[in-house]
Structure 1
Amino acid sequence: MHKLRFVFFLTVFSILLAGCTNDNLVDTNQAMPENNWAYAKSVKATVEIKDINEPYNLYFKLRHTADYRYSNIYVIVHVKGNGLNRNNRYQYKLAKADGEWLGKGSGDLFTYNFPLLTNYRFAKPGKYQIEIEQNMRDNPLTGISDAGITVAKAQVK
């Protein structure tokens, strides 16, 4: 009977452990001092791409407080390395027209995970630098708790 219990718990533990794995190559998060995101405080990450046949998803992670004054945010994303120099400006909606925040969270902290590039294939293997800077009129931008970057292998279906 004890042997059967041991096998059962070992099986359950193995299944739970396998469910905890992810395909993130990079997962950064940078806290903003005093909830202020200044132009000079860009979020940076370096990712090493080994398989150019593999598609990747790049995400912008953001958390803000209820003190954030706008219903959207503009950011500029730079992806550089191995001859690539890609710069894009993105706008993300953070609130509905009535002011209700769209992010997940409770209290006065709201979390978002926005897509930057989906199913993206890098042309060459090697290291790439990703940098995200806020592109709003306010400097510093008040109410931003932290921001980050995730690079993950795309789930092929």
Structure 2
Amino acid sequence: MKQTVWALVLLVGLLVGCDSNAVFNEYTDIDDGKWYIKNAPSFTFEIKDASIPYNLYYNLRNSLSYGYYNLYLTRYLRDSSGKEIESKLDELILMDPKTGKPNGDGLGDLFDHKFLFKRNYLFPKPGKYTIQLRQYMRQDPLLNVQSVGISVERAKPANSSN
């Protein structure tokens, strides 16, 4: 199982490393796949050019044993002074609600998901920003979530063929 996890981490790392639009991409592993409500991972990144739009994504890795078809989480976006710019509750659909077929990319019993949560977002100014994620399900701990993270990418121009 550990070899499968490391192979998946390596594969994801290689794929992300090839994305020239990525400004930031980071995961936090969830200990023993048990995501407690009090465990709210934070991701700090720097925006050097606030004049261009960015796409922001949730990255999530779960096992097939995850007990729900969806996941609610709350995100908090803060500027470098700690001032909250936004907080929002989002629902991520991890599996088809009717068939149970997992969404995302799978390897063994692990599935990676990438969910867009902000398209063409303009940051207020250059600087450091932090996004904190908190699971918002009724189960504490939430089982079989392996890791969670975010990606920040330069938005591709509308006329781009990529």
1:118-133 correspondence to structure 2 within 5 Å: 118-133=119-134
Between 147-156 and 69-78, the greater mean CA deviation after superposition:
147-156
- Which residue does the alignment assign to 2:6? none
Q: Which runs of 5+ in 1 are unaligned?
A: 1-18
- Which residue does the alignment assign to 1:77? 75
* CA shift for structure 1 position 30: 0.9
- Which residue does the alignment assign to 1:152? 153
CA shift digits 1:23-61 (9 cap, x unpaired): 222111111111111112222111212212110111100
Give the 3-state SS of the residue equivalent to 1:28 in structure 2.
Answer: strand
Contact 2:76 2:84 in 1 (8 A): no
Give the 3-state SS of the residue equivalent to 2:92 in structure 1.
Answer: strand
Distance 2:130 2:107 in 1: 33
Q: Give the TM-score normalised by the residue count of structure 2.
A: 0.80
- Which residue does the alignment assign to 1:20? 18
Q: Which runs of 5+ in 2 are unaligned?
A: 1-16
* CA shift for structure 1 position 84: 4.9
Distance 2:60 2:92 in 1: 10
1:1-157 correspondence to structure 2 within 5 Å: 20=18, 22-81=20-79, 84-96=84-96, 97-156=98-157, 157=159
Q: Give the TM-score normalised by the residue count of structure 1.
A: 0.82
Distance 1:98 1:119 in 2: 33
- Which residue does the alignment assign to 2:4? none
Give the 3-state SS of the residue equivalent to 1:89 in structure 2.
Answer: strand
- Name the aligned partner's letter for residue 149 of structure 1: I
Q: CA RMSD in A?
A: 1.6
- Name the aligned partner's letter for residue 105 of structure 1: G
